């Protein structure tokens, strides 16, 4: 019994000494990013009647704990000819969620993945509903995806690409579900 206790104490002392000699990792810098992107979105990507929308996004991202942060995204999209019917559609999504950013030390690029939830607002269109057609509608929205930022300077980066899956549920006379793929590129401004 004494031999087992002595061995455990010796191993504990060796582990403590080894841990004390290792250099402590640098504390990651906390920063805030503001990005502006141009977005092209393939709407209703699953159906055969898909169409393209164009617009832009504004994102605010704060990295607070190691590689984790929170992000808020507001995206505005528009098409003048939904499903080749001549009916326009404008869509604004406001989503919020978590982002994980990976940056290898010494590299000028960072990769990120994110998962967001919020609301979609459709307007300037026709939304079929039980009581008749509506001119605007809203629903829950979910967004998941990622992208890559490439540093130009310590405070400016290029959003080389961002690809997100966007799901909304505004009325549409079929399933009332829209699955879209959003492609974006733009600029990122970083504040420390």
* Residue 166 placed within a domain: yes
What pLDDT shows up at residue 55?
A: 97
pLDDT in tens, 59-112: 999 998 889 999 999 999 999 887 777 788 889 999 999 999 999 888 999 999
| Angstrom distance (rounded) from CA 56 to CA 40 | 8
**Angle ∠(182,43,57) on CA atoms, nearest 5:** 35
User: Per-residue b/e over 99-131, b at no fewer than 16 CB within 10 Å?
Assistant: bebebeeeeeebebebebebebbbbebbbeeee
Q: Which helix (H) or strand (E) holds 9?
A: helix 2-21
The C-alpha atoms of residue 175 and residue 171 are separated, in whole angstroms, by 8
Judge contact between 119 and 142, C-beta under 8 A: no
In a domain, 173, yes or no: yes
Name the nearest CA neighbour of 111 among 162, 65, 153, 72. 162
Q: Is 40 exposed, middle or buried (0-12, 13-18, 19+ CB in 10 A)?
A: middle
For the chain, give the number of residues. Answer: 192
Q: Using an 8 Å Cβ cutoff, are 180 and 43 in contact?
A: yes
pTM over 0.75: yes
- Asked if the structure places residue 17 within a domain, the reply is no
Residue pair 120/141 in contact by the 8 Å Cβ criterion: yes
User: Which has more confidence, 19 or 183?
Assistant: 183
Domain of 41?
31-191
What CATH number does the domain containing 147 carry? 2.40.160.20
Q: Is residue 66 one of the residues assigned to a domain?
A: yes
pLDDT tens, 35-63?
999 999 998 856 677 889 999 999 999 99
Higher pLDDT, 89 or 16: 89
Reported as a single tens digit per residue, the pLDDT across 128-149 is 777 778 788 889 999 999 999 9
Tell me if 159 is assigned to some domain. yes
pLDDT at position 129: 74
For residue 101, being part of any structural domain is answered with yes
Nearest-angstrom CA–CA distance, 141 and 154: 33
Query: Does residue 21 lie within any of the structural domains?
Result: no
Domain count along the chain = 1
Is 6 within a domain? Answer: no
| pLDDT value, residue 108 | 92
Question: Exposed, middle or buried by CB within 10 Å (0-12, 13-18, 19+), for 41?
Answer: buried
The beta-strand segments (E) located in 66-155 are: 68-82, 87-102, 109-129, 132-151
């Amino acid at each position: 019994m004494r031999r087992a206790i002595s061995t455990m104490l010796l191993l504990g002392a060796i582990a403590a000494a080894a841990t004390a000699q290792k250099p402590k990792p640098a504390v990651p810098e906390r920063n805030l990013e503001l990005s502006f992107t141009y977005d092209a979105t393939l709407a209703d990507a699953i159906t055969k009647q898909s169409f393209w929308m164009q617009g832009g996004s504004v994102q605010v991202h704060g990295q607070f704990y190691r590689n984790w942060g929170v992000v808020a995204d507001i995206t505005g999209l528009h098409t003048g000819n939904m499903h080749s019917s001549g009916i326009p559609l404008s869509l604004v999504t406001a989503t919020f969620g978590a982002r994980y950013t990976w940056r290898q030390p010494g590299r000028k690029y960072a990769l990120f993945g994110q998962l967001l939830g919020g609301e979609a607002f459709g307007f300037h269109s026709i939304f079929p509903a039980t009581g008749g057609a509506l001119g605007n509608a809203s629903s829950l929205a979910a967004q998941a995806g990622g992208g890559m930022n490439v540093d130009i300077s310590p405070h400016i980066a290029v959003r080389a690409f961002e690809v997100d899956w966007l799901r909304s549920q505004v009325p549409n006379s079929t399933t009332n579900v829209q699955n879209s793929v959003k492609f974006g590129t733009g600029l990122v401004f970083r504040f420390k």
